[in-house]
Amino acid sequence: MLATNQIHNALYLAFERQQWAELRKSVPLTLSEADLEDLRGINESISLDEVTDIYLPLSRLLNLIIGAKQQRGLVLSQFIGREPPKRPYIISIAGSVAVGKSTTARIMQALLRQWPEHPKVDLVTTDGFLYPLAELKRRGLLQRKGFPESYDMKMLVEFISKIKAGESTVHAPIYSHITYDRVADTQQVIEQPDILIIEGLNVLQTSQDSHVAISQPFVSDFVDFSIYVDADESLLKQWYISRFLQFRQGAFSDINSYFHHYSDLNDAEATRIAANIWDSINGPNLNLNILPTRDRAHLILSKGTDHMMNQVLLRK
């Protein structure tokens, strides 16, 4: 069997952090003080160096790739003699629980919408497509949240195919981390953005994954550019535990929170519970279902300690 680094050498161009940072080239730090404040609102621990060194070059790369796709669209419309419907460019972001998918997705949304060629950038997370809590209980999947079988894949694929077909209005369900359930009466409305970012654990799965039926289409069939955010499991577990500890003052403190009973735990008890959830659910899901999809991504962002990106792999 080929070793991971042999596969990566064959398929990807590798950039160490500094080499990647230089590819920002002429992209100025287009962010005003107000934009930076917005990014701080996304995540107050994100450093400005991370934005300039990692995310600005990525925003430049995506702008170039999307420009090429838009050019191709013009050629096609010239050829067929009519305007094709406006179709969003679809970017997926995959990776483990707690690797920083939603932070990455929100930063990329903020940066990509700065470009005049694609100002409308929407973001959807796949957690809305988890089966409602009652259905997860009925199927005995409460301890399998985030595993492929815990999602309504048919609904998710229908959603993404409508987006890809250029439908003018498409609805997505919303998940609440407070109630731990799908929100019953509100939906996200997507109206022909220039770019749609879709973020979630399972967005790189294909029919090659053994537990699923072969003929079924997958999210990855509709995606134009895929990103996998990677880190060693020891770091992921640590980040999962620290986020869980922070939740005691945030989400868990809400009286409506499904996990309200966790809000009074001391550090040692909370650490033990979070480590146990990692070892029984999120760790196995990473190793069984998420990590095996990594080497399909167009881009792999590898993080080390403190969430600092140390390597970027780009498909040749």
Ligand X SMILES: CC(C)(COP(=O)(O)O)[C@@H](O)C(=O)NCCC(=O)O
Binding site per annotation, positions for ATP: 95-102
Of residues 40 and 154, the one with the C-beta less far from ligand ADP: 40
Beta bridge partners of 171: 189
- Residue 173 interface partner, choices ligand X, ligand ADP, none, CB cut-off 5-8 Å depending on type: none
In angstroms, rounded to a whole number, what is the distance separating the alpha carbons of residues 76 and 70?
Answer: 10
Report 256-295 residues binding ligand ADP (CB under 6 A). Answer: none
Of residues 88 and 200, the one with the C-beta less far from ligand X: 200
- Residue 50 interface partner, choices ligand ADP, ligand X, none, CB cut-off 5-8 Å depending on type: ligand ADP
Stretch that binds ligand ADP, among 65-73, 93-101, 108-116, 278-286 (CB under 6 A): 93-101
* Smallest distance from ligand ADP to CB 60, Å: 19
Report 33-52 residues binding ligand ADP (CB under 6 A). Answer: 43, 45-46, 50
Q: Does 100 participate in binding ligand ADP (rule CB under 6 A)?
A: yes
In angstroms, rounded to a whole number, what is the distance separating the alpha carbons of residues 70 and 191?
Answer: 19
Of residues 23 and 281, the one with the C-beta less far from ligand X: 281
* Smallest distance from ligand X to CB 275, Å: 11
* Smallest distance from ligand ADP to CB 307, Å: 4
C-alpha torsion angle, residues 130, 175, 87, 294 (rounded to 10): -60
With beta carbons less than 8 A apart as the criterion, state whether 93 and 125 touch.
no
Q: Mark the binding-site residues, compressed into ranges.
A: 95-102
| Residue from 113, 164, 243, 296 in contact with ligand ADP (CB under 6 A) | 243
Contacts 24+ apart (CB under 8 A), 231-238: 231/95, 231/96, 231/99, 231/302, 231/303, 231/304, 233/96, 233/283, 233/286, 233/287, 235/303, 235/304, 235/305, 236/96, 236/97, 236/98, 236/99, 236/278, 236/282, 236/286, 237/275, 237/278, 237/283
